[in-house]
């Protein structure tokens, strides 16, 4: 468990963090304070709400998935293809290169394999079956975005890791070679050799930490990725921030926009989007094709597991949004995808024959870092 917590930044890494405009009084800060009670008038949920809230927080059966390997063996004809692998893990093929976002293959979003939110949806493919990856992006250090076992396995590949300031200390302690770790402050960029791909860290509004005593000791970011012909945006975790308008001004247009839509609550609106705010953020970014992420894998909030997609299929058409809702493991090319098939309803329909969705207490138990999000700002 101790190793999975990661390591604190020291030396030159820490000095670089302290030089960031976002660092003050020993930690990173958002541009706007994250004080949800003042913004919404809604009280923060209690631990008992997580443990005893009930409701349809997990599906009664695994969601339908596809094995993407046959599609991956062919070239994306349009030059841009995305495969959602669950939660915030997406393999994006862009202009002949492959980018993997927030890779999490672990069974629990937790520092231990014994407690914490348990994956209710298996990953459709083993890490060992992944094709060549050209760059791995990690937005921040919460357990449902940065998984110890996953990084340990990916460390054996000759692949660069791009992340936010300070997060590289975890990578280095887990066996990733120092020369393959790039840590970015907002608006800083990393370019692959040959200048075929550029990754820019962009603002988000969230927080960080892998233990109760390590709040905001590392930075959190979204990412804008530009290939030779296409571009995409990945939100990581964020609340609605006007900085998205600045991202649009500097880096748009985007062919593909991936925004988090799950694990939301009225009191969390300043650091988790949810469906409605994700559509607002999408508009501020200037549009494109919208692929929702951060849902369908872990039980991290009190809403029904299928509330994010149901809200999106209701709201997106009213706003003229090109919504992408692929099954887990289904490679899709945004330029050739029209309409949404509500595949998740196959599982939701099974619940009619069940009195309630069963879950064990340990599966509902929240873990430090992500699941009990009391921000300090």
Is there a domain that residue 63 lies in?
yes
Closest by Cα among 111, 114, 123, 94 to 148: 111
Question: Within a domain: residue 26?
Answer: yes
Domain membership flag for residue 371 = no
User: In this predicted structure, what is the pLDDT of residue 48?
Assistant: 57
Contact between 371 and 109 (Cβ < 8 Å) = yes
Domain count for the chain = 1
Residue 30 belongs to a domain with what CATH number?
Answer: 3.60.15.10
> Which residues, 6+ apart, have CB-to-CB distance to 173 below 8 Å?
3, 6, 7
Distance, CA of 22 to CA of 29 (rounded, Å) = 5
Torsion (CA) 168, 169, 175, 178 in degrees, nearest 10 = 60
In-domain check, residue 374: no
Q: Which residues of the chain have pLDDT under 70?
A: 1, 34-54, 353-377
Q: Is the peptide bond before 241 cis (omega within 30 degrees of 0)?
A: no
Alpha-carbon distance of 247 to 161, in angstroms, equals 22
Specify if 376 maps to a domain.
no
Confirm whether 9 is domain-assigned: yes
| 222 in a structural domain | yes
Q: What is the pLDDT of residue 52?
A: 53
The SS3 assignment for 290 reads: strand
Q: Quick one: which H or E segment has residue 13?
A: helix 11-18
Residue 269's pLDDT is what? Answer: 86
| The predicted structure's pLDDT at residue 228 | 97
205/243 Cα distance (integer angstroms):
9
CB atoms < 10 A from the CB of 319, how many? 13
pLDDT on residue 34: 65
- Residue 65 covered by a domain: yes
Q: Which domain holds residue 109?
A: 3-364
């Amino acid at each position: 468990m101790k190793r999975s917590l990661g390591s604190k930044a020291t030396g030159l890494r820490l000095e670089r963090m302290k030089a960031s405009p976002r660092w003050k009084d020993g930690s990173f800060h958002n541009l706007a304070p994250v004080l949800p009670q003042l913004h919404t008038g809604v009280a923060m949920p209690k631990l008992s709400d997580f443990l005893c809230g009930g409701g349809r927080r997990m599906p009664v059966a695994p969601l339908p998935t596809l094995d993407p390997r046959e599609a991956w063996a062919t070239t994306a004809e349009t030059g841009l293809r995305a495969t959602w692998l669950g939660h915030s893990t997406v393999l994006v093929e862009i202009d002949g290169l492959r980018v993997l976002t927030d890779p999490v293959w672990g069974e629990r979003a937790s520092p231990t394999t014994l407690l914490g939110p348990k994956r209710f949806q298996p990953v459709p493919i083993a890490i060992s079956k992944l094709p060549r990856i050209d760059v791995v992006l990690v937005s921040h250090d919460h357990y449902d975005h940065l998984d110890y076992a996953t990084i340990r396995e990916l460390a054996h590949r000759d692949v660069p890791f791009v992340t936010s300031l300070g997060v590289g200390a975890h990578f280095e302690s887990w066996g990733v070679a120092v020369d393959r770790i790039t840590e970015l402050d907002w608006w800083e960029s990393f370019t692959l050799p040959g200048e075929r791909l550029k990754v820019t860290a962009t603002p988000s509004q969230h927080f960080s930490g892998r233990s109760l005593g390590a709040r905001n000791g590392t930075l959190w970011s979204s990412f804008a990725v530009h290939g030779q012909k296409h571009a995409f945006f990945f939100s990581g975790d964020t609340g609605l921030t006007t900085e998205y308008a600045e991202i649009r001004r500097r880096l748009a247009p985007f062919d593909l926009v991936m925004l988090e839509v799950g694990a939301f609550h009225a009191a969390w609106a300043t650091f988790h989007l949810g469906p409605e705010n994700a559509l607002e953020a999408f508009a501020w970014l200037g549009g494109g094709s919208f692929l929702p992420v951060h849902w369908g894998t872990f039980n991290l909030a009190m809403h029904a597991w299928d509330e994010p997609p149901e809200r999106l299929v209701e709201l997106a058409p009213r706003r003229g949004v090109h919504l992408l809702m692929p099954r887990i493991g289904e490679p899709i090319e945004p330029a050739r995808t029209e309409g949404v098939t509500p595949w998740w309803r196959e599982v939701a329909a099974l619940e009619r024959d069940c009195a309630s969705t069963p879950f064990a207490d340990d599966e509902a138990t929240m873990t430090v870092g992500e699941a009990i999000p009391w921000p300090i700002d």
